[in-house]
């Protein structure tokens, strides 16, 4: 094994389902919603955790074989087949929003999106037992393996020339990364100018800000003490300053703890994320706010669950 690489532990069987919600508490904003199951997908902290771990293990490894299952992923994956990766050396792993980009020698790139249940699994050698729902297998010259597992098949995999990444339709529509460099309050206010949608919807709009999803949007707005239902265009400069401060604070803390454990998410070593114990509002409907003790509420916004504290995030301007 090359120097400086820490061997990864064997990956356990994936979680079979998310934890069901408890029956709706009396102070839930809508008891019917509180009986549903929370479904989510990896966001920027989870993808950045994967990127760091994969790059530490894969840099300078040479692919000798690349195979794909007969099952098609739900999202169209245009571009060259995985066979084009044979003989290529991985130079680095990058991230754009929620996308992973494996940069290879001779100007090739493998673009990957995890979808709702995708996982990259790394093994120093062939695993002893068979794993289901593996849709891509990369074999390296030193005997290591990298597999892409995706039970729901909403992920994306496609091989492209590196020069074509700038023109890729999926990447071209992405807004700017919230951490590279961190968003300034004036930049956020400019993005929200004239926007009548809610501030929560704006944070989720990947065309404006790439990488923030449902979990971290709820956490950012709670820490900034902003009602998620307010119109984005109605926030004051001081409020955008609070949001701008909390975006890197929340995302960086989540990255440091390897993301939030939910549904299928695990690191390439099979380890769960540790940020779940730090969540203040997400998936805590009916539980006391960690700041003021008020019961957390759950509502639907754009067919997605939003969690907030009605006291800490009291309304101060018209809703969206």
Among candidates 314, 298, 320, which has minimal Cα distance to 239?
314
Task: Give dist(CA 121, CA 100) in Å, integer.
Answer: 14
- Residue range 46-76, pLDDT digits in tens: 999 999 999 999 999 999 999 988 787 765 5
Q: What is the rounded distance in angstroms from the CA atom of residue 121 to the CA atom of residue 134?
A: 10
Sign of dihedral through CA atoms 275, 42, 281, 179?
A: positive
Residue partners of 83: CB distance under 8 A and separation at least 6: 66
Closest alpha carbon to 119 in 214, 42, 57: 42
Range with the poorest average pLDDT among 9-13, 72-76, 152-156, 291-295: 9-13
For 293, phi then psi, to 5°, come to 90, -5
Cα–Cα distance, 188 to 208 (Å, whole number): 9
Residue 274 pLDDT exceeds 90: no
Distance CA 48, CA 176 (A): 15
- Binning pLDDT at 50, 70 and 90, where does residue 37 land? very low
C-alpha distance from residue 192 to each of 10, 176, 188, 216, 317 (Å) = 46, 14, 6, 18, 15
Q: Catalytic site residues? A: 42-43, 98, 304
pLDDT band at 116 (very low <50, low <70, confident <90, very high): confident
pLDDT tens-digit series, residues 214-235:
999 999 999 999 999 999 999 9
Would the pTM count as exceeding 0.75? yes
Per residue in 157-170, pLDDT (tens digit) is 999 998 899 889 99
Domains present along the chain, CATH in parentheses = 33-39+176-308 (1.10.8.50), 45-172 (3.20.190.10)
């Amino acid at each position: 094994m090359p120097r400086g690489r820490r061997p990864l532990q064997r990956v356990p069987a994936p979680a079979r389902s998310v934890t069901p919600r408890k029956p709706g508490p009396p102070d839930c904003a809508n008891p019917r919603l509180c009986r549903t199951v929370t479904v989510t997908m990896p966001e920027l902290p989870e993808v950045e955790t994967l990127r760091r771990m994969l790059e530490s293990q894969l840099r300078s490894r040479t692919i000798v074989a690349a195979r794909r299952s007969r099952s098609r992923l739900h999202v169209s994956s245009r571009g060259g087949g995985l066979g084009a990766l044979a003989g290529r050396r991985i130079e680095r792993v990058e991230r754009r929003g929620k996308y992973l980009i494996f940069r290879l020698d001779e100007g090739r790139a493998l673009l990957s999106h995890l979808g709702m249940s995708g996982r990259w699994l790394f093994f120093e050698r062939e695993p002893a037992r068979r794993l289901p729902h593996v849709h891509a297998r990369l074999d390296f010259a030193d005997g290591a393996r990298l597999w892409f597992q995706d039970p729901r098949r909403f992920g994306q995999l496609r091989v492209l020339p590196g020069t074509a990444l700038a023109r890729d339709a999926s990447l071209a529509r992405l807004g700017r990364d919230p951490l590279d460099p961190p968003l300034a309050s004036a930049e956020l206010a400019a993005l929200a100018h004239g926007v009548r949608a809610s501030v929560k919807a704006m944070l989720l709009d990947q065309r404006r800000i790439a990488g923030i999803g449902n979990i971290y949007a709820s956490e950012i707005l709670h820490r900034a003490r902003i009602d998620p239902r307010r119109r984005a265009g109605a926030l004051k400069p001081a409020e955008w300053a609070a949001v701008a401060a909390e975006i890197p604070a929340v995302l960086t803390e989540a990255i440091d703890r390897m993301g939030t454990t939910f549904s299928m998410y695990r690191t390439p070593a099979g380890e769960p994320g540790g940020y779940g114990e730090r969540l203040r509002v997400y998936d805590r409907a009916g539980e006391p706010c960690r700041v003021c003790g008020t019961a957390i509420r759950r509502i639907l916004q754009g067919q997605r669950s939003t969690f907030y504290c009605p006291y800490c995030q009291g309304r101060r301007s018209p809703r969206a």
